[in-house]
Chains A and B, each alone.
Chain A
Amino acid sequence: MRRKLEACLEAVNQVLLGKEPQVRLALACLLARGHLLIEDLPGMGKTTLSHALAKVLGLSFQRVQFTSDLLPGDILGTSVFDKDSGQFTFHPGPIFAELVLADEINRATPKSQSALLEAMEEGQVTIEGATRPLPDPFFVIATQNPVSQGGTFALPESQLDRFLMRLSLGYPARGAEKALLLGDSRRALLPQISAVLDHSELAAIQAEVPKVRVSDALVEYVLRLVEATRTQPQFAWGLSPRASLALLAASRAWAYLAGRDYVIPEDVQAVLPSVVGHRLRERADPSGHGGSTLVQGLLREVTPL
């Protein structure tokens, strides 16, 4: 099973060059049944990553381009009157795919954003009084552009909290970019990827991850980290219990990916920046993006032993 996961990573890395850590984190996020927010400039490979992940894991893929005139119905689906049967039939929206890419999520109005975010949290949608379950592996990758903020609706903290991880892909290394330039078009490579895992295997792995053992000592470390965010003066606010649960879940997935059935502090440290970075703000600048520097401080100050 783990060999298959390695093969998944391998396949994605073939398409997205030089982004092994991010790919691994994205996979861990998925294994922990979390949703992923990718915050980066346009053209950094956000779509490629989502597409490749969907392919490799054998998931159905839908992309929703969020715009300011996007309505909740455009995401969830609507009932349309069928003349033949004389009934309303439900036309499911793109949310009913297994992997949904919500591109430029901050361009949509809060109303549409919350429709997606509710679906993410509940795992089901209620349309016209009928509750419809979403497909079982359900994974949302939302992207947002941190730079051009004109006409956007930034996600409030409560909604950011719904994402297990926030990643940033960043520029590729020189060698990776050279290979990119010399090789085929990435989009052309995508169809060539074949599914490595099927649904049952993915479900089995997702069931395995929570069973990864967490020792008392490690929980103490997580508690110390969380306490530090709550007591140190530089933090505008501390991490919520949801955040500490998320941190533990992500660490378990990371440990599982590393082939271990227990978590060690390395795992926590590996996922910490992406799990808590978007949940923290500096006291000096509560609306800013100081989260990552705060996380570096946490890594440095809180003793893992």
Chain B
Amino acid sequence: MSQIQVIPRISLTWLLVAQVLVILPHLSHLPLWVIGLWLGCAAWRVQIFRMRANYPSTLLKLGLMIATGCGVFLSRGSLIGLDAGVVLLVGAFILKLLEMRTRRDALVLIFLGFFVVVTAYLFDDSITAALYSVLPVTALLAGLIGLQQSSLASRPWDTAKLAAGLMLQALPIMLLLFVFFPRIGPLWSLPMPGGNAVTGLSDSMTPGDIADLSRSGALAFRASFDGEVPPRTELYWRALTLDRFDGRRWSQSSALNYSPSPDWQKAGDPVSYSIVMQPSSQPWLFALDVAETSLPQTRQLSDFRLQRSKPVERSLLYQVTSWPQALREPHGSSTGLRRALQLPANVDPRSRQWARELRQQYPQDEQLVNALLKHFNQQPFVYTLRPPQMSRDSVDDFLFDSRRGFCAHYAGAMTFVLRAAGIPSRVVAGYQGGEYNPNGNYVQVRQFDAHAWVEYWQPDRGWVSVDPTFQVAPERIESGLEQALAGEESFMEGSPFSPLRFRKLAWLNQIRLAWDNLNYSWQRWVLGYQGAQQLELLQRWFGRVEARELIISLVGGGALFLAFIALWLFKPWIRNGAPEQRLFSQFERLLRRHGIYRKAGEVPGHFARRAAIALPRQAPEIIQFYRSFEAQYYAGESIDPKLLRSQLRQLRRALPLRLSRLDRQQ
């Protein structure tokens, strides 16, 4: 047991500190019992160090291990998957501290710690999380330094300072790797943690859903325009369309996914912009009408939305070009139009009746739409987040009785009436507007900007968008939800301390916008710096490059760099000493292969005699070489250097490639 190298006090201290720092960012998603386990293990560890407690026995360790595994299984329902995996990893990290006895254990703990730090990015990849991780990494490095019995052993702050210095030195390498290292796609994919907890638009809508969303200040996406930001009233961000109505709920039809891409004609000036989208766990992307993107595995569905083959589980950056004045499906598609006329039977009789009356009054479709919009504008409709409960005939209730509702009510009711009047129409769900951030010249769109509007189809004109909410509450469109609800105080009801509620305080708003800008830049330039973007940047610097060329040049460049360092360190062009000396070094190397090393300060003669004794069969060659060496090197006899070389060659030939143990008589 005397072989065990104990862990120095300073290292243990730093390891405990590092463990706190490593686990802190995980606290938000760890089950409570893991935290309990952690505190218990840390306390036990401290007691072990104070010699008040023993190390856990093998049986206990086994028990703890199995219990932790079972605990993870019970609280996460599985042992695999990222969520459970991370909990398991943190559990192992905690238990290893308790078990840690030797330097090797401490090293394992430190490397586990580095891994746990990285897994925290799966849950939070914001700039604050990245900056924070400097702390645990520094503490882990300090623990690593403390493990070495150096002169720092009794000076914890100097250890930390050295660790921080090392971190700083690693910075240029980190930046280089960040810029140049190719982003390799994952070899396998795992479901991302917490996917179902994201707030956002879903693929169906009851009027209350959007009202719920409006209570959330969470970010949906940010958009940077290449040119001028279009006026707010034109920022209708399409997410999806809802064309099935069951009397209560609007939802998207399943046929959409299989229908071919729609035909549309570009018209007017395009608008190009890039969007960084927060994870939504939904496959659709947000864009202005009618959008085109170069993002791979993304296509335009028949309702003009952009949809990816996989749900967006991580922040996603994509470039979009939109033609707001494009002509959408001027000829229509029979199935699409049929879907756009679907209505459930036997509900909302009053609305149907009213639609028939309108139809008789206005035979032209456009006239009818305008009359409907005028109706919303002139009748006492109220825009509110607190609509009354509806009965079974929700559209009837809304249109004729309560007349209080949210954008979803207006869009749903209008679509219902249009369909009942025989005009193909559908509800579009998405976001409207957004907050312009002058610091970074971009628009940020939050969940409370969620919106629903209507589009109807006309022969030759194609799909036309109208927004009934604009008729009721134009301030919603012109300046945002907060203004629209100014009298009601229902804006962001659920979060009284959100900075979004204090937008009227100029300085606070300034700070908030600046901070948001910083986060956005982080997302765009750091997190978003992936495959295509990286290639684009490198192409700007070095001309056209392919991913494969990049990898080759990276590896080659790295090898070249190391080769230069090696050249600089070893300086092979400086011939070290006389040719005899180099030959003697070869002689030494030759014998080293047979386990005969020249000791420090050992003179050549003694070494040669020792070698001759150790290798009796080759003794004559060894002695012969040494004699010539001595004569040439020390006695200054002018013997041809070739002689020495040839004698060395003889010795090499005399020596077998590998000696068996029996041949060597030490």
Tell me, yes or no, whether B185 is within 8 Å of chain A by CB: no
Docked-complex contact A215 and B601, CB < 8 angstroms: no
Query: A302 vs B577: C-alpha distance in the bound complex, in angstroms?
Result: 16
Docked-complex contact B601 and A301, CB < 8 angstroms: yes
Query: A261 vs B634: C-alpha distance in the bound complex, in angstroms?
Result: 10
Query: A300 vs B636: C-alpha distance in the bound complex, in angstroms?
Result: 26
Query: A139 vs B603: C-alpha distance in the bound complex, in angstroms?
Result: 31
Contact among B602, B605, B606, B634 with A262 in the assembled complex (CB-CB below 8 Å): B634
Query: A215 vs B585: C-alpha distance in the bound complex, in angstroms?
Result: 19
Contact among A261, A266, A303, A305 with B635 in the assembled complex (CB-CB below 8 Å): A261
B605: A residues at CB distance < 8 A: 264-266
A262: B residues at CB distance < 8 A: 634-636
Tell me, yes or no, whether A304 is within 8 Å of chain B by CB: yes
Docked-complex contact A305 and B581, CB < 8 angstroms: yes
Query: A141 vs B577: C-alpha distance in the bound complex, in angstroms?
Result: 41
Nearest residue (CB) in B for A217 is B633
Indicate whether A300 sits within 8 Å of B634 (C-beta atoms), given known contacts A217-B578, A217-B581, A305-B584.
no
B578: A residues at CB distance < 8 A: 217
Docked-complex contact A303 and B634, CB < 8 angstroms: no
Docked-complex contact A266 and B633, CB < 8 angstroms: no
A304: B residues at CB distance < 8 A: 601-604
Tell me, yes or no, whether B348 is within 8 Å of chain A by CB: no
Docked-complex contact B600 and A305, CB < 8 angstroms: no
Docked-complex contact A213 and B635, CB < 8 angstroms: yes
Nearest residue (CB) in A for B636 is A215
B636: A residues at CB distance < 8 A: 213, 215, 262
Docked-complex contact B604 and A305, CB < 8 angstroms: yes
Contact among A218, A263, A264, A302 with B601 in the assembled complex (CB-CB below 8 Å): A302
Query: What's the tally of chain B residues with a CB closer than 8 Å to chain A?
Result: 18
Name the distance in Å between A256's Cβ and chain B's nearest Cβ.
Answer: 13
Total A-B contacts with CB atoms under 8 angstroms apart: 50
Tell me, yes or no, whether A299 is within 8 Å of chain B by CB: yes
Query: What's the tally of chain A residues with a CB closer than 8 Å to chain B?
Result: 19
Docked-complex contact B601 and A299, CB < 8 angstroms: yes
Nearest residue (CB) in A for B599 is A300
Name the distance in Å between A135's Cβ and chain B's nearest Cβ.
Answer: 35
Contact among B580, B581, B584, B603 with A269 in the assembled complex (CB-CB below 8 Å): B603
Docked-complex contact B604 and A215, CB < 8 angstroms: no
B634: A residues at CB distance < 8 A: 215, 217-218, 262-265
Name the distance in Å between A153's Cβ and chain B's nearest Cβ.
Answer: 36
Query: A213 vs B584: C-alpha distance in the bound complex, in angstroms?
Result: 21
Contact pattern, A 255-275, Cβ under 8 Å of B = 1, otherwise 0: 000001111111001000000
B635: A residues at CB distance < 8 A: 213, 215, 260-262
Query: A305 vs B589: C-alpha distance in the bound complex, in angstroms?
Result: 14
Nearest residue (CB) in B for A261 is B635
**CB contact list, A264-305 vs B, under 8 A:** 264-266, 269, 299-305
Docked-complex contact B581 and A264, CB < 8 angstroms: no
A300: B residues at CB distance < 8 A: 600-601
Contact pattern, B 601-613, Cβ under 8 Å of A = 1, otherwise 0: 1111110000000
Tell me, yes or no, whether B393 is within 8 Å of chain A by CB: no
Contact pattern, A 199-234, Cβ under 8 Å of B = 1, otherwise 0: 000000000000001010110000000000000000
A301: B residues at CB distance < 8 A: 600-601
Tell me, yes or no, whether B475 is within 8 Å of chain A by CB: no
Docked-complex contact A303 and B606, CB < 8 angstroms: no
Name the distance in Å between B648's Cβ and chain A's nearest Cβ.
Answer: 15
Query: A217 vs B601: C-alpha distance in the bound complex, in angstroms?
Result: 15
**CB contact list, A107-159 vs B, under 8 A:** none
Query: A262 vs B651: C-alpha distance in the bound complex, in angstroms?
Result: 26
Docked-complex contact A266 and B600, CB < 8 angstroms: no
Tell me, yes or no, whether B630 is within 8 Å of chain A by CB: yes
Query: A35 vs B330: C-alpha distance in the bound complex, in angstroms?
Result: 119
Contact among A260, A265, A299, A302 with B604 in the assembled complex (CB-CB below 8 Å): A265
A269: B residues at CB distance < 8 A: 601, 603
A-B contacts, 19 listed (Cβ < 8 Å): A213-B635, A215-B636, A218-B634, A262-B634, A264-B630, A264-B634, A265-B603, A265-B604, A265-B605, A265-B634, A266-B603, A269-B601, A269-B603, A299-B601, A301-B601, A304-B601, A305-B577, A305-B581, A305-B604
A interface residues with partner B (beta carbon < 8 Å): 213, 215, 217-218, 260-266, 269, 299-305
Further 5 A-B residue pairs, CB within 8 A, beyond A262-B635, A265-B603: A215-B636, A217-B580, A266-B605, A269-B603, A304-B602
Top 4 A-B residue pairs of the complex, sorted by shortest distance between their CB atoms: A262-B635, A265-B603, A300-B601, A304-B603
